[in-house]
Structure formats: structure tokens, C-alpha cells
Structure 1
Amino acid sequence: MTDTDVAIIGGGLAGSTAAAMLGRAGVGTILIDPHPIYPPDLRCEKLDGGQLSILCKTGLADAILPATTFDGSTRDGKAWVARFGHLIDKRPGGQYGILYDDLVNAMRAAIPPSVPRMIAKAVGLTVGDDRQQVSLSNGTSISARLVVLAHGPSVALKDQVGIQRTVTSPCHSITAAFDIKPAHAGAFDFAALTYYPERTPDRMAYLTLFPIRTSMRANLMVYRTMDDPWLRDIRRDPGRSLFALMPNLRRLTGDIEVVGPIKIRPADLYVSKGHRQAGIVLVGDAFASSCPAAGNGTGKVFNDVERLCNIHIPNWFMSSGMAADKIAQFYDDPVKWGYDEAAAAFAYQLRSMSIEEGFTWSLQRYLRFIARGAIGSARRLGMIAIADRVASEEWTQRLRSLGDRA
């Protein structure tokens, strides 16, 4: 039997971030995951300013940013936005591209040596008011004051302690990810591009192009079912399918070549029930999923872990026991609760804005197009250039002072 204060089950982004934070804070922690190196996985592939703001609060941004690829568009206004086939804005960007497995492995590298890593699968779990017991596939048993469940959508351990997963929107969205390059020599005219759908029947949220390493990465977000023939077509001839979906895209990209394999991932929306128990807390996708098209899943993970490790675990460990009323403080945290609610609401709003045909949604799409076009026109006339520059300089200064802020 190995004793520790915190046993983290799952070494993805949530679990690795928690292990790094707790280890740096001197809290006795063990990370349990069967993968010595996190394998390729289609999830988050870029970080935006809001997610970086939360990452800064974890004290780990300085360990992550060197592994990312900055889109280079903060000052030169080359993050293009196109809607209905028209280029409507060239705005400052400032996003950081990184494949999910690279992100997780960079976070794992930030875990201090004081945190043991058990390369095994958790197969048994018993929880209570005092100590929690975790059984591993290698025969090891771990006793901990607190178990952090961070193993994503898996249900095996949840079933053992009576936590249910309720799917609220099956196959809510589908992500198709691949690399592209110009068909002829040269580079794209943009540093990054977000392209919104031309027709609602295409059931598309948007296409986003952004740099990762030396490649231009494409994330295409659609609302379809996994038996839709379109998914078969895009696997067979991705370039043709892409331009069939967005006929006017070629005006901005020119002819393209799809490089490497296409990865496709459906995403269900689900929530946990019966999770308010003694001795165990759920974070990230273990608690509730998010929609990749909404782009707030990584922020949700960072928000969960930051609140848990900076606020709640230090408070919980000031007294004995780990009763359910202690654990409830995390789920009732207004910062966590507010982020979760906003993420869920936006997931449904974006889907309706993208595919619903009614007058109300058509009007909203038209008004959004007009508003963003007006912003783009103002930017071209220099009317908001000063605000862009101030925002850019402020964010640059924040990134330079990450170490102090941590």
C-alpha cells in the first residue's frame, strides 16, 4: 500500500495540469496513467487569449508556451475572417497552435520529480469520508486523502462508486482535422483564417486555419451524424469535398493540397450525476464534456484545475476528513459553475446559429455578418487601430511577465 495526499487518475490535460500544480505546491501527489508518453489524440489544437489568461493563474504558462506555434498575426492584422464567401476583416490574432498530445506532454514535463507517476491503469476505487483506496492493474494499491478523477469520458471507475454519465446531446458536433499547403510553391497570404459557412443546409460551424510547427492546420467543425456520406467523401477526396462545402474558399486560399491523414472525432455532450460524494472530485471531461466547435474545452479544463488546486484543495487539507460537503464547495464554486454554464450555453447557441433555418436565426446570422463587416471596415479605415495596438501591447507585456505572475 502506497500512501499519498492526492491520487490523480488520468494523465491527460486535466490530470497532468493538476499534478504539476500540486507538485509545485508541495502537496503529496501521485499521477496514475497507463501511457508513459501521451499518445496522439484529436482534441484541443490551439490556445486563445482567454485560455492563456487562466493558464497564467496555474503558474504553468511559461512551461507551455515554448511548445506552441504563435500565429504571428498580433500586430500585422493577418488573421482573416470570412463569412458568406466574403473577406470581412483582417484582425489581430494572437492564438497559439499546439497538437493535444504535445500540449499534454509539455504539461507532464512541468511535473516536478517529487510527484511519482504510476504507469498503470486504475481498476478499482473505494471512497469515503477519510481515506480513499485505488487499485492498479500492476497490483499496487494506493491510499489517498483525495482522489481526483481526470480520466475523461471513461465510466468504469464511476460505475464502481455510483456516478452516472447522462448524454444530453449525442454527436453534438464533429471535428475533422488535417494539414494543408498551397498546391503551388509559396505560402498562404494569411497567417490564420476563420471561414464561416455559406449555406445553413451544409450543417457547418466554421473552418479555422492556423499554424502548428511548420504546417498550416485545418479544423473543420460540422454538425452531422457519423453515418453521413459526407464524412466518407471528405476522407476519400478532402480537397474536393472542402471546396464543394465552401465554393468561395478558393478565392482566399487558392488551390490547396491536403497533407497527411484526416482525423475525425465526434463529440457527445454529457454531464455527471451522483458525483457529490466524499473523497472524490471530478475535473474536466470526467465531470462534463464540452463542444470542440465552441472552443472552450481547454479553458474549462484549466478553470477546473486552477480553482481546485489553488483554492479548494489547500482549504480542504486544513482540516481532517474529506466529507461530501467539502467536495461540494468545488462544484458550487461560482467561478467554476459560471464557466461551465457559459460553455454549455454557447455550445447550443453556436449549433443553432449555424444550422437553424427559422427567421429568428437567419436574422441573427445576418446581423452578425453586418456587425463584423462594420468592424472590419472600421479597422481598414484605422478607426480601431489604436485599440488593437493597445490590446496587443498589453497582451505582449502579460506574456513577458508570466514568471512574475506565476
Structure 2
Amino acid sequence: MTADRTVTETIAATETATIVADIAVVGGGLAGSLAAAVLARAGHRVALIDKRAIYPDEFRVEKIGGHQLEILRRLGFIGGLESVGCPYDRVLNIREGKVVDVSVGRAYGLPYADLVAMARRQMPDPCSLIVDEVTAVRSSDDVQHLELASGRRVNARLVVLATGMAGALGYKLGIRRRVLAERHSVSFGFTIARRDGAPFDFEALTCYGERTADGIDYLSLFPVPGGMRANLFMFRDPTDPVMRDLRRETEATVLRLLPGLQPYLGDFRVTDRIQNWVMDLSVVEGHLQAGVVLIGDAFQTNCPAAGTGVARLLTDVERLCTEYAPRWLMTEGMGREKISEFYADRDKVASDQHSLKMARFRQALTSRDDIRWDVRRRLHFLRRSITHRVDQMRPGWLAHVRTALRA
């Protein structure tokens, strides 16, 4: 990370040459900011180090729902999320212009930068944020030493790397990233509105791809404070000419690829810049080191279409910051045997494995054109459609079945 000198340093307490903390969190995106807030609220001395005082607008997490809300509630962030997110409760799911089913359940849409800012505001002491760049980490079984670009140092018992896919600092520690699937998926983000200014006829909508050759998993439309946000997820070569078409002629290209959308969108336009993201599936190796632990994308990346990234991140934060880090700090030392407990945690391992499994499943369900997957795809949507129709005839039936299965 390179320190952003265009922002004002707000950390008056960090003018000293050496800063002492229990835990140093490197990387102030969602994972790092949430982790720092949880740990600081528990009474630990935390230094959150990031190059930016205000996190920029990036195309990352833009909606939160389902099991993710349960974890945020347990961690004490649900009130903060409600204050910045745009709530919605029903998602109309369509394919080839026909309704597949309707998803019911509270969710929130919001810009990633607002989500990060919310997490940072939960820190009891704003001075815990150090706007600087970590240039080196010297780890040991006892105290970890971080050198900053400003010349200052941070000494901490534990270092949490939440640097996302930026691997420079990890590389210096001997941590390597192994790519499991290069250019696994492509995502686009943009905001839309009707040209006549009228609202859309749906609260939120998901439109699934119609042809395997197009490589489209789905287009998700959901409200955010600034309008109706669109997230398009594809399994297609990023160099394909259609990617250029999506950037230059977004409205026409979206309707060409998903013609069943036209009756639902009407005459619409894109109201902001098109954001694009190409994702590799990867995991790290050489990460089991004394005094240093990796969370979120710093440990393993996810397929955005699978929707498992936030759940993985939240699982990492919850298990590390409520179970392991507080217990580690109660005894001397911070050797590999302690760090290994987190990486072997049952919930974390299950979440990591589920994320990779869903990434491969979404790609196969979207793109595989052999008979086996063609049949499986048809059955997948047919089962959803039949379940939806039965639930319409007998409202509450599906909820009762799910409750019985969980019992």
C-alpha cells in the first residue's frame, strides 16, 4: 500500500516514533475495519493501518442479506448497516422473461465505501486508524515489528493481514498465492434508471442467463441510496469483444444478452460509470507463521457470482476476533501453534470449502453445455418454479418445510 498524502493525517497520537498495540490490523477495507472494530470494542489496543483516511468508491460488496445479517447482528453491526443501507425484502427472479420464483427476506444495498465507513465508525477511538503504509513486517514468537513509510514503527503481539488481493507485504513474508482458476469470472457494476423518471415495477430483480454460449450467470438489480444498482456476473473470457460492448453500449448489450429483461426494465439508461472486475480463484501458501494471521481475500479469493465472499469474510472476523485472538492474548507468546488454531477452525474451514464449491458449481451451471449439465440446469430452474407455484397456492408451506428440515 502507498500512503495517500492528499488526505489529512487525523492520528495525532501516532506522531511518536513507536506505537505499541496488542493487535495491528493491516488493511482498512471491510475485513480489516470490521476486525479492528470488534477487537477495539472488546477493550484491546488496536492499530488499524491503511493508506487512506476515507476509503474510496470501489466495485466490491454492494449487498448484504441472508446469513450475513445474522453474523453482523451477533457482531453488533446491524444498527450501523441499517443506518447506511437501502433495505428491500422481495426479489423477483426471472429467466427467459418468465418468473422462476420470488425470494423473500431482508437485504440491504449500499456502496462498498459506505459499508467500510460504517465499520470504521464502530471503533471507540478514531485515533486507532493510522493513515500510513506498512513497508515491512518482522515476525517472531513474541512481538511483531512493523515499519511504516513515514518512519514510524508499530510493535504488536499479533498482526492481522487484511490486505485483500494485494500481495506485496505477504510476499515479503514468504507467503505465496496459488491460482486455482485464472480469470474465473467477470463482473460489471453500474446504476440504472428509467428515462421517464418513474420507478421500476419491482423492488429487486434477478435475471438469469438464457444461453450457455453467453456465459451469463445472472444480472442482479437492487436498490441502493443512489438508485437501482446492477451487478452482472459472467463466466467468459475477459478479452471477448462483448466486454467492450458492455462498457461502451451497456443498455443495448444487456438487452441483447438478456432479451427477457425488456418488459421489466422498459426504456432505461445507465446513470454512472461502468465498473468492471476480473477475478481469479486463489489461495495462499506459506501463511502459517508466528505472530501473523490472514483473513478475507488475503487468505482466499471468492467468485462474486457465488455470493459467498461476505459470509467467508464475516466468518473469519467472528472466529478470529471473538474466539482466538482474545484467548491468544491472555497467555504469553504468539507462535505458530496458536495461529494454526484459527486456520483449522471448523467453521472457517467449512466456509472456505463451501465458497470454492459454489464457485465451481455456478460456473458449471452457467457454462457447461454437455447433456448432464443441460439436464441439471433444467431441473434446477424447474424445481424452483414448481416450489414457487406450490407456495403461492399454499402460502407459508415452504417456510414450514424449511423449519421442519432445520429442526
Q: Deviation per CA, 1:16-36: give whole Å up to 9, x if none.
A: 001100110001110100100
Question: 59, 63, 75: which one pairs with 1:42?
Answer: 59
Query: Which residue of 2 is the match for residue 69 of structure 1?
Result: 86
Query: Which residue of 1 is the match for residue 12 of structure 2?
Result: none
2-side partners of 1:88 and 1:34: how far apart?
45
Corresponding position: 1:9 with 2:20: no
Q: Deviation per CA, 1:15-60: give whole Å up to 9, x if none.
A: 1001100110001110100100000111110001111111122222
What one-letter code is carried by the residue in structure 1 that aligns with 2:36? A
Q: Secondary structure at the residue paired with 2:312?
A: helix
2-side partners of 1:226 and 1:111: how far apart?
39
TM-fit CA distance, 1:298? 1.0
Query: Which residue of 2 is the match for residue 369 of structure 1?
Result: 381
Query: Which residue of 2 is the match for residue 276 of structure 1?
Result: 288
Question: Which segments of structure 1 move beyond 3 Å, counting only runs of 4 or more?
Answer: 384-392
User: Which range moves more in the overlay, 143-152 or 372-381?
Assistant: 372-381
Query: Which residue of 1 is the match for residue 49 of structure 2?
Result: 32
2-side partners of 1:41 and 1:185: how far apart?
26
Query: Which residue of 1 is the match for residue 228 of structure 2?
Result: 216
**Structure 1 segments unaligned to the other structure (5+ residues):** 393-406
Query: Which residue of 2 is the match for residue 124 of structure 1?
Result: 136
Question: Would the aligned equivalents of 2:391 and 2:397 in 1 still touch at CA under 8 Å?
Answer: no
Q: How does 1:100-111 map onto structure 2 within 5 Å?
A: 100-111=112-123
Q: How does 1:80-119 map onto structure 2 within 5 Å?
A: 80-113=92-125, 116-119=128-131
TM-fit CA distance, 1:234? 1.1
Q: Deviation per CA, 1:282-331: give whole Å up to 9, x if none.
A: 00011111111111111111110110000001111121000001000000
Query: Which residue of 2 is the match for residue 403 of structure 1?
Result: none
TM-fit CA distance, 1:255? 2.2
Corresponding position: 1:259 with 2:286: no
Question: 329, 345, 364: which one pairs with 1:333?
Answer: 345
Query: Which residue of 2 is the match for residue 298 of structure 1?
Result: 310
Q: How does 1:127-138 map onto structure 2 within 5 Å?
A: 127-138=139-150
Query: Which residue of 1 is the match for residue 396 of structure 2?
Result: 385
TM-fit CA distance, 1:62? 1.8
TM-fit CA distance, 1:119? 0.5
Q: Secondary structure at the residue paired with 1:92?
A: strand
TM-fit CA distance, 1:252? 2.0
Question: Would the aligned equivalents of 2:95 and 2:260 in 1 still touch at CA under 8 Å?
Answer: no
TM-fit CA distance, 1:265? 0.8
Q: 1:372 to 1:390 in 2, by over 3 A?
A: closer
User: Which range moves more in the overlay, 317-326 or 111-120?
Assistant: 111-120
2-side partners of 1:308 and 1:61: how far apart?
19
TM-score under structure 2 length normalisation: 0.92
Q: 1:101 to 1:185 in 2, by over 3 A?
A: closer
What one-letter code is carried by the residue in structure 2 that aligns with 1:41? E
What one-letter code is carried by the residue in structure 1 that aligns with 2:64? L
1-side partners of 2:117 and 2:401: how far apart?
34
**Structure 2 segments unaligned to the other structure (5+ residues):** 1-17
Question: Would the aligned equivalents of 1:270 and 1:288 in 2 still touch at CA under 8 Å?
Answer: yes
Question: Would the aligned equivalents of 1:23 and 1:114 in 2 still touch at CA under 8 Å?
Answer: no
Query: Which residue of 2 is the match for residue 352 of structure 1?
Result: 364
Q: Secondary structure at the residue paired with 1:26?
A: coil
Q: Deviation per CA, 1:318-363: give whole Å up to 9, x if none.
A: 2100000100000000000101100111011110100001111111
Query: Which residue of 2 is the match for residue 188 of structure 1?
Result: 200
What one-letter code is carried by the residue in structure 2 that aligns with 1:22? L
Question: Would the aligned equivalents of 1:29 and 1:115 in 2 still touch at CA under 8 Å?
Answer: no
Question: Would the aligned equivalents of 2:96 and 2:259 in 1 still touch at CA under 8 Å?
Answer: no
Q: How does 1:308-327 map onto structure 2 within 5 Å?
A: 308-327=320-339
2-side partners of 1:328 and 1:115: how far apart?
31
What one-letter code is carried by the residue in structure 2 that aligns with 1:379? D
Query: Which residue of 1 is the match for residue 4 of structure 2?
Result: none
